[in-house]
Amino acid sequence: MDRQEQTLIALMEEYKALKAEQGRRIGFRDNLLYVTLGLFGAIASIALGDPPNPMALLVIPLVCLALGWMYLVNDEKISAIGLYVRLDLDDRIRTLIGGSADSLPLFGWETAHRDDKRRKRRKLEQLFIDELTFVVAGLVAIGVCLATVDRISVGLGLLGAIEAVLLVALGVEIVIYADLGKGRKAPKNYDFKQKS
């Protein structure tokens, strides 16, 4: 087996490993939404229970921050894997084998699912859901807590303000990393070093 064949085998193994990792990350990321909603229900039942404890609502922003950040990191890695396959791995393998027989990308799915007519709408809807789940819900919880407690102490006000600032920062990051683009190219905010 010559060096070119060994390189091709190594690159195909890398592709398989990356797709397996991407699949695991997609499953984990998607389950974070369900876990988040379940925790919201549990916390709300404590906050609205008998007797009511509105300060328990301040746990919701912490849940939003922790799980929202995990969601964002996994979503970014999922996109980064797809980007690497589209912009680097595809080109390297095509170079090794002397090009594709039909001049199309070797890993067509990596681009095809990004080219449909409804992609932008679907991604905007997902962005809305992400912001609603991980940012707006936390901000609403802070507002309801502060509106329903008997007295807002300095510590409580400070905690609410810090949580609100962190939630807004998370919301900005979610927008920055939303991959609304189509086709093969990298999103504008990506610092991907593609070979020329």
Instruction: Provide the number of structural domains found in the chain.
Output: 1
In a domain, 186, yes or no: no
In a domain, 15, yes or no: yes
Task: Say if residues 96 and 7 touch (Cβ distance below 8 Å).
Answer: yes
At 140-174, the pLDDT tens digits run: 999 999 999 988 999 999 999 999 999 999 999 99
In a domain, 8, yes or no: yes
In a domain, 188, yes or no: no
In a domain, 85, yes or no: yes
Integer CA distances (angstroms), 13 to 8, 16, 18, 101, in order? 9, 5, 9, 21
What predicted TM-score, i.e. pTM, was given to this entire model? 0.85
In a domain, 195, yes or no: no
At 68-108, the pLDDT tens digits run: 999 999 999 999 999 999 889 988 998 888 877 787 778 87
- How many Å apart are CA 94 and CA 76, to the nearest integer? 26
- How many Å apart are CA 183 and CA 104, to the nearest integer? 13
Domain that holds residue 48: 3-176
The candidate with the shortest Cα–Cα distance to 174, out of 137, 129, 115, is 129
- Average pLDDT over every residue of 120-148: 95
